[in-house]
A = this chain, B = another copy of it.
Amino acid sequence: MSRFVNMTNRNKKPFILVTNDDGIMAPGIRALVEVMKEIGEVAVIAPDKPQSGMGHAITINSTLRIYPSSFYGVQYEYGCSGTPVDCIKFGVNKLLHRKPDLCVSGINHGSNASISVIYSGTMSAAVEGAIESIPSVGFSLCDYRIDADFTASKVIVRTIVSAVLKNGLPEWSCLNVNIPPLHIDEVKGIKICRQARSNWVEELDERKDPSGNSYYWLSGRFQNFEEGNEETDSWALDNGYVSVVPVQFDMTAHQAIPILKQWKFGIMTKP
């Protein structure tokens, strides 16, 4: 089952690509790079500005730039004008001398659990790594603040990355890791979960510009349809656990195929 096995020679350090969606200067990616430098050879290719909520967007209608950076003292280090997914594409197809053994994204400032996985640039970068057959993990701390404390997160990142390098990942999947905003001694453990069914009820806050014309800010309220369900990532986080959800890029709703195959489309039905 493990096509995504650890491709590194055990005597050699793994080659690790680090990205995020909060931008190359965010404290969360700094914490992630610090841990990865203890574990392997690190390349950082991350957006040159915040790219939250970019989902799986790629840049095809405009051009891309890359800028060498020297924040982290590693061999490969670039800011990219594009999205988190663009960063992975740049790394794999252009900038790096070989395919990374591991791709990590984050640590995001804020939760990417439940339905947020689909809007998240952090997680979309990890998904893109998986599409490229690279074992990939997205990390998020459930604390939006720019001065969030990543001390406990660093312990958890080290634990999970060690397990991924040891075990490999099940094929066609990456991991969505969300970390509750707790001291490490308060964290109850790491829990394997599924994505909770939920949505965002949007506010679309209307304001007036100096000319009196309307503009809007998208902001919303999270709505969990599975409150209290212990299998879900939302429950794990609400109860002091780190949630780990395996995430796939096969979007097919397989269970729906036999239902649809009974439909009649008249002359257009497949003979």
Say whether A195 contacts B252, CB under 8 Å. Answer: yes
Interface residues on A, range: 35 or more
Contact A93 B203 (CB under 8 A): yes
Chain B neighbourhood of A89, CB < 8 A = 202, 204, 218
Task: Enumerate chain B residues within 8 angstroms of A59, measured Cβ to Cβ.
Answer: 53, 218
Please determine whether A252 and B257 come into contact, CB atoms closer than 8 angstroms.
no
- Digitize A170-210: 1 where CB-to-B-CB distance is under 8 Å, 0 elsewhere: 10110010000000000111111011010101111001000
Say yes or no: B216 contacts A65, CB within 8 Å. Answer: yes
Within the oligomer, what is the number of copies of this chain? Answer: 2
In the complex the two chains form, is B191's CB within 8 Å of A255's CB? no
Instruction: Please report which residues of chain A, range 45-97, place their CB below 8 angstroms from some CB of chain B when the two chains form the complex.
Output: 50-61, 63-66, 82-83, 85-86, 89-90, 92-94
Chain B residue nearest to A131 (CB atoms) is B199
Whole-angstrom distance between the alpha carbons of A202 and B94 in the complex? Answer: 9
The stretch of A6-14, A31-39, A100-108, A155-163 that contacts the partner chain: A155-163
Within 8 Å CB of A202, what residues of B? 89, 92-94
Contact B163 A263, beta carbon cutoff 8 Å: yes
Query: Is A215's CB under 8 angstroms from B170's CB?
Result: no
Closest to A117 in B: B251
Q: In the bound complex, do residue A218 and residue B64 qualify as a contact, i.e. CB atoms below 8 Å apart?
A: yes
A115: CB under 8 A from chain B?
A: yes
Q: Determine whether the beta carbon of A217 is less than 8 Å from that of B64.
A: yes
A-B contact pairs, 30 of them (CB 8 A): A52-B60, A53-B57, A53-B61, A55-B56, A56-B57, A57-B57, A57-B83, A57-B119, A58-B218, A60-B219, A65-B215, A66-B216, A89-B204, A93-B203, A94-B204, A115-B131, A118-B251, A127-B251, A156-B268, A169-B256, A170-B253, A170-B259, A170-B260, A189-B265, A190-B268, A192-B263, A194-B257, A195-B251, A246-B260, A247-B252
